[in-house]
Amino acid sequence: MWPDASRVRVFMPFPSVEVPHLCAQCMDYPCIASCPVQALSKDPNTEAVIVDRAKCISCGACIRACPGTVPYLHPGDKKATICDLCNGDPKCVEVCTEAGYNCLTIVNEPPNVHRKIYSRNPYDTAKDLAVKMFGEKGEEVIK
**102: confidence class by pLDDT, cuts 50, 70, 90:** confident
Q: What is the mean pLDDT of the chain?
A: 84
Q: Which runs of E-coded beta strand occur in 33-127?
A: 40-42, 49-51, 72-73, 80-81
- Verdict on whether the full-model pTM lies above 0.85: no
Looking at the 3D structure of the chain, how many domains does it have? 1
Per the domain annotation, does 46 fall within a domain?
Answer: yes
Give the pLDDT of residue 117: 62
Give the pLDDT of residue 57: 98
Give the pLDDT of residue 72: 93
Give the pLDDT of residue 96: 86
Per the domain annotation, does 118 fall within a domain?
Answer: yes
Assess whether pLDDT exceeds 70 at residue 126. Answer: yes
**54: confidence class by pLDDT, cuts 50, 70, 90:** very high
Per the domain annotation, does 128 fall within a domain?
Answer: yes
Cα–Cα distance measured from residue 84 to residue 102, given in angstroms and rounded to the nearest whole number = 20
Assess whether pLDDT exceeds 80 at residue 87. Answer: yes
Cα–Cα distance measured from residue 48 to residue 23, given in angstroms and rounded to the nearest whole number = 8
The residue count for the chain = 143
Distance of CA 21 to the CA centre of its chain: 4
Give the pLDDT of residue 141: 62
Can you give the CATH number for the domain in which 55 is found? 3.30.70.20
Domain ranges, residue 41: 17-84+112-141
Per the domain annotation, does 7 fall within a domain?
Answer: no
Assess whether pLDDT exceeds 70 at residue 17. Answer: yes
